[in-house]
Chains A and B, each alone.
Chain A
Amino acid sequence: MKIALSSKGKDLNSSLDLRFGRCEYFIIYDLESDESKIIENQGKHSSGGAGIASAQQLIDQSVDGVISSNIGPNAYELLKNSDIRMYKGKNIPCKLLIESFKRDELEEIKEAGPSQKGVY
């Protein structure tokens, strides 16, 4: 199972970036192999539809879940339609969130946040 985290930096010690569409990187962590992969978020370059571009990247990476915080309605719809579950994280190191996720402690995001259009 693979989960993606919107991250401020390139390794698991980096904090979670609360903004889904405009984060710097995604860390894709594989629960089975304990390996992680870093990809640069393409959405942050977009004029519009940043969340869509980011979500598309994760769909193409075949992730099963996403840990982030502010996910706008377009990205939310896209991830939901792809059966990717979303979990709410906090501004703490990604590796701690992964531990929380493994212990089933993270709350699932059940509805879209307000539009993030234009949000930095």
Chain B
Amino acid sequence: MNIAVLSGKGGTGKTTIATNLALLLEANYVDCDVEEPNGFIFLEPEDIKSRDVEVEIPKIDQEKCILCGDCIEACKFNALAKTKNKIILFDKLCHSCGACGLACPTKAIEYTKRAIGKIEEGKRGNISLKRGIMNIGEPMAVPILKELLKELSEEGINILDSPPGTSCNVVNVLHYAHRALLVTEPTAFGLHDLKMAVELVKRLNIPFGLIINKYDENNPYLKEYMEEENIELIGKIPFRREIAENYSKGQTLIHVEKYRGYFQQIIGNIEEVLL
């Protein structure tokens, strides 16, 4: 069972929720924010094993190449270009689609690999922790996400801590999600971006529930929207400066009894509403 934690807006508390839930549920944790992963700060995995994420790029055999330029026509991403006497590759633009190889009339294109990031895996007690981390300067995170998510454990629960936003990165995480937890903050910005996240999970037919983080009793934000859209509330975590301070130190919350209660309630509701 894969549960994605997403939000639309950045900074609402996805990682806070995802890491604390993983600990309390004894679920595996997967940090899918490969551009800026933070989960390991809180979960402190041991025995970390690291491997490169590689993508395929074309290699042109200059002997077989007749400089016809069909590969350049075929490439929709401007990754190939023709100088006076050879074809050159702009590797960061390559989407590894293979169209160039298919177009080449002389079979002059073979594929080799280059690294764009890493996958790191470790353990904490019984749970396994995994993350992807993209090399700085690389424009595309999606290949790392695919590598990260392709072999998830089929037993137990995997918490997928998603990146912010609602475009291709998040969509790729949601392709693996059976359920979703949407984390929002009760502000105008939070609501605006939440609507996009809701549209996304609905479009992908993923059962979901809402968690309101940094909750303020005096703030009526979200109540109307939730009623209109019939959204299930899974939990609320109040705004407390102390929580922010704990977070800033890289500490999880569940060892503090009053906060543990909030997460236990969330788990109860997840079981009731989503599972």
A and B touch in the complex (CB under 8 A): yes
Q: List A residues at the B interface (Cβ < 8 Å).
A: 43, 46-50, 52-53, 55-56, 59-60, 74, 77-78, 81-83, 117
Chain B residues near A74 (CB, 8 Å)?
A: 90, 93
Our pick among B77, B81, B90, B139 for the contact of A59 (Cβ within 8 Å) is B81
Contact A82 B83, beta carbon cutoff 8 Å = yes
Our pick among B82, B84, B86, B93 for the contact of A49 (Cβ within 8 Å) is B93
| In the assembled complex, B62 has its CB within 8 A of some CB on chain A | no
Q: A59 vs B72: C-alpha distance in the bound complex, in angstroms? A: 13
Number of A-B contacts (CB under 8 A): 42
User: Secondary structure at chain B's binding surface: helix, strand, loop or mixed?
Assistant: loop
Contact B82 A59, beta carbon cutoff 8 Å = yes
Please judge, given known A-B contacts A56-B72, A59-B83, A81-B83, whether A49 and B78 are in contact too, CB under 8 Å: yes
Chain A residues near B231 (CB, 8 Å)?
A: none
Contact B81 A78, beta carbon cutoff 8 Å = yes
Which chain B residue lies CB-closest to A78? B81
Contact B90 A52, beta carbon cutoff 8 Å = yes
**From residue A54, how far is it (CB to closest CB) to chain B in Å?**
9
User: Secondary structure at chain A's binding surface: helix, strand, loop or mixed?
Assistant: helix
Contact B77 A82, beta carbon cutoff 8 Å = no
Contact A49 B88, beta carbon cutoff 8 Å = no
Chain B residues near A49 (CB, 8 Å)?
A: 77-79, 90, 93
17 pairs from A and B in contact (CB 8 Å cutoff): A46-B78, A48-B78, A48-B93, A49-B77, A49-B79, A49-B90, A49-B93, A52-B78, A56-B72, A56-B82, A78-B81, A78-B83, A81-B83, A81-B86, A81-B88, A83-B84, A117-B139
